[in-house]
């Protein structure tokens, strides 16, 4: 576990890509093995000794102080708010993250974090932020109530990261979990389809709840009875809840469905994890407007209800959205693409399209069917080019998501001279894979970059590919910017419409300036004359978060600044944040020495912008 400097407890780091985190419990006593007694003499040796040696040995034994007794003392459990699954050495944030921040402020900021983000990289930063073992403190006060840990678990659940939410809650013994954390834990078991475990914990909750006044456990019992076929018991429990005056229209609607009584969705119903699990048990699709809103947990359950047996386009579209939100692994979408029955689709890389889920499935199947690496590379390159060239405001699938679909194939392609033309596609695909947590992607990405850079001196084709990759190389590594290299990249935009080429240059120079890279005034000079006025943002950044972020950055309050930056990086409904909000968030992260985080977000933005 990760606790204060005064009392450090270590937990093995949980890598975000791991399926089975290593857990440790709060409050486990330190076990000490007794040392061998100093009074126990060693066995005599047969080596002859001189009289002086014997005398010295006897004298030293006579003068030796008696050995101090060893006592095993259990250590106090560290404060619950300080436990975590990562630290600054394993991809997380330092223990000083919340230094000089009021616990209530930290708790509120954690609960205000968005559920969806501008891209995968921002979501991963939010995960590491919430999993870091750092306790809020003000004026040296290290007291903790567990409320901040509870808020972190709730926030992880909000972004659909139920695996890590469950792992973090597991660090607290069952008897020390607050009712809210206990509820969230069972919600996680229900969302992840671990219903037996959820029912076991619900039974325990019913036993421990004072005078049975916690209706949550009674509601879970209704689902458990229905699953076990105890129809009468479920009906009785529903009746008791009604008699108790429990007001929860969504629950009673779902309970009626479990009993075979169909009815309309209650107006303005707020569906919970428990309600989702009840609808899944009743095999009832979630309301379309609810799915359209794109809440991560809603997408998880909607994909589960769609089932592996169906292969229609609606299910594919749902899985695409779930993968883009980071709550469903890309292999689930790949399998769904592979299983779709197709006939009469394009069998030529030049004729493929990505306008519908069916066309995207056909493109994937076409790539799989190629046994020659060059032919497969042609299909993947064409697919990514189509995604990059599409209008970001109209497209149904982003380049990053397409990259995830094909990442497994690209990882199997060894970089070679005959595939140097493919390096641009490979780098873009592997950036998406890296941000989705594929651990082998960064090293393979570097190999492709090195390959095309090394060949650029002797191959004109490789030189062009290398110039087009300048934005990614610069955004990833930072450092000085050569005007010749920048001009060579700008020259690769000559085939674009002038307005589009200008927008790409403005975007890249803006990102580099925000990240603190030395962009010269000469580089900007050519863009100062003419051009379109700054467009109004699609979603205005929240002014309170904007100004609070400025204050937190100036005062070097890292935890507050990161939380507020994440607010500016969040999506509002299906709308992405404005460029102004994103730029402000990245600038703050870079200023507070979180440049690697800022660059990860920026390079993925470049990918989805079609650079």
Query: Distance (Å, rounded) from C-alpha 354 to C-alpha 340?
Result: 15
- Average model confidence (pLDDT) for the chain? 83
Q: Tell whether 333 is covered by a domain.
A: no
Q: What is the pLDDT of residue 29?
A: 33
Task: Give the pLDDT mean for 488-514.
Answer: 92
Please indicate, yes or no, if residue 131 is contained in any of the structural domains: no
Backbone angles phi, psi at 95, to 5 degrees: -60, -25
Quick one: what percent of the chain has pLDDT higher than 90?
A: 56
Ranking 218-222, 285-289, 456-460 by mean pLDDT, the lowest is: 285-289
What is the pTM (predicted TM-score) of this model? 0.83
Q: In this predicted structure, what is the pLDDT of residue 162?
A: 96
Q: Is the pLDDT of residue 550 over 80?
A: yes
Residue 604 forms part of a structural domain: no
Q: List pLDDT tens digits, range 117-148.
A: 999 999 999 999 999 998 887 654 555 678 99
pLDDT mean over 364-375: 94
Residue 245: give the domain boundaries: 213-306
Q: Does any domain span residue 247?
A: yes
DSSP H helices in 136-272: 147-158, 162-170, 179-191, 195-208, 215-227, 231-243, 249-258
pLDDT category of residue 44 using cuts at 50, 70 and 90? very low
Report how many domains make up the chain.
1
The predicted-structure confidence for 269-294, as pLDDT tens digits, reads as follows: 788 999 999 999 988 888 888 888 88
- Considering the domain boundaries, does residue 283 fall inside one? yes
Measured CA to CA, the distance from residue 1 to residue 133 in angstroms comes to 7
77: pLDDT strictly greater than 80:
no
Q: 220 in a domain, yes or no?
A: yes
Q: Got the DSSP string for 545-578?
A: HHHHHHHHHHTT-HHHHHHHHHHHTB-BTTBPPP
Tokens of 444: 């393979």
Average pLDDT over residues 460-466: 94
Q: What is the pLDDT of residue 141?
A: 52
Residues 26-39, mean pLDDT to the nearest whole number: 36
Residue 188 resides in a domain = no
Question: In this structure, are residues 202 and 217 in contact, taking their beta carbons and an 8 Å threshold?
Answer: yes
pLDDT in tens, 566-601: 999 998 777 788 889 999 999 999 999 999 999 999
Q: What is the mean pLDDT of residues 250-271?
A: 87
pLDDT digit string, tens, across residues 176-208:
888 899 999 999 999 999 999 999 999 888 887
- Kindly state whether residue 440 falls inside one of the protein's structural domains: no
Taking the CA atoms of 325, 297, 294 and 279 in sequence, report the sign of the dihedral they define: positive
Report residue 137: phi and psi, to 5°. Answer: -150, 150
Residues 527, 424, 513, 585: is their CA dihedral positive or negative?
positive
Least confident of 218-232, 291-305, 383-397: 383-397
């Amino acid at each position: 576990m990760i606790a204060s400097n005064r009392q450090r407890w270590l937990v093995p780091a949980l890598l975000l890509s791991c399926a089975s985190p290593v857990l440790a419990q709060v409050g486990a006593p330190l076990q000490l093995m007794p040392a061998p007694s100093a009074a126990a003499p060693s066995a005599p040796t047969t080596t002859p000794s001189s009289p002086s040696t014997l005398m010295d040995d006897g004298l030293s034994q006579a003068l030796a102080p008696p050995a101090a007794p060893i006592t095993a003392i259990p250590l106090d459990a560290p404060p619950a708010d300080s436990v975590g699954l990562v630290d600054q050495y394993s991809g997380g944030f330092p223990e000083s993250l919340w230094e000089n921040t009021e616990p209530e402020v930290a708790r509120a900021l954690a609960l205000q974090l968005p559920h969806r983000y501008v891209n995968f990289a921002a979501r991963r930063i939010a995960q590491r932020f919430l999993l870091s073992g750092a306790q809020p403190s003000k004026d040296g006060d290290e007291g903790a109530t567990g409320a901040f840990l509870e808020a972190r678990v709730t926030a992880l659940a909000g972004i659909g990261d139920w695996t890590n939410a469950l792992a973090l809650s597991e660090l607290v013994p069952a008897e020390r979990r607050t009712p809210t954390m206990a509820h969230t834990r069972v919600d996680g078991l229900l969302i992840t389809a671990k219903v037996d475990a959820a029912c076991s914990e619900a039974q325990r909750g019913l036993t421990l709840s004072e005078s049975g006044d916690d209706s949550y456990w009674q509601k879970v019992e209704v689902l458990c009875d229905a699953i076990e076929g105890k129809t009468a018991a479920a009906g009785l429990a529903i009746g008791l809840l009604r008699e108790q005056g429990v007001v929860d229209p969504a629950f009673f609607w779902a309970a009626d469905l479990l009993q075979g009584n169909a009815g309309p969705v209650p107006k303005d119903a707020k569906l919970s994890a428990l309600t989702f699990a009840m609808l899944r048990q009743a095999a009832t699709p979630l309301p379309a407007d609810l799915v359209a809103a794109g809440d991560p947990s809603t997408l998880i359950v909607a994909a589960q209800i769609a089932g592996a047996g169906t292969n229609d386009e609606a299910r594919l579209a749902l899985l695409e959205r779930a993968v883009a939100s980071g709550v469903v692994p890309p292999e689930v979408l790949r399998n769904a693409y592979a299983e779709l029955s197709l006939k009469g689709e394009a069998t030529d890389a030049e004729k493929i399209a990505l306008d519908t889920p069916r066309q995207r499935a056909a493109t994937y199947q076409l790539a799989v069917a190629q046994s020659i690496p060059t032919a497969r590379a042609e299909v993947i390159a064409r697919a990514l080019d189509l995604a990059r060239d599409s209008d970001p405001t109209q497209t149904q699938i982003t380049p990053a998501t397409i990259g995830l679909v094909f990442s497994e194939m690209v990882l199997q392609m060894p970089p070679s001279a005959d595939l140097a033309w493919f390096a641009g596609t490979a780098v873009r695909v592997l950036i998406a894979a890296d941000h989705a947590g594929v651990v082998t992607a960064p090293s393979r990405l570097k190999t492709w970059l090195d390959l095309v850079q090394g060949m650029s001196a002797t191959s004109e084709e490789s030189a062009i590919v290398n110039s087009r990759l300048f934005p990614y190389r610069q955004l990833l590594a930072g450092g000085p910017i050569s005007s010749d290299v920048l001009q060579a990249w700008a020259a690769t935009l000559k085939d674009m419409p002038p307005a589009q080429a200008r927008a790409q240059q403005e975007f890249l120079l803006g990102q580099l300036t925000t990240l603190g890279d030395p962009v010269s005034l000469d580089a900007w000079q050519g863009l100062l004359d003419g051009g379109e006025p700054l467009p109004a943002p699609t979603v205005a950044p929240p002014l309170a978060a904007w100004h609070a972020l400025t204050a937190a950055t100036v005062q070097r309050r890292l935890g507050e600044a990161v939380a507020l930056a994440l607010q500016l990086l969040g999506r509002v409904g299906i709308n992405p944040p404005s460029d102004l909000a994103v730029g402000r968030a990245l600038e703050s992260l870079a200023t507070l020495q979180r440049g690697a985080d800022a660059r990860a977000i920026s390079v993925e933005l470049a990918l989805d912008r079609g650079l």
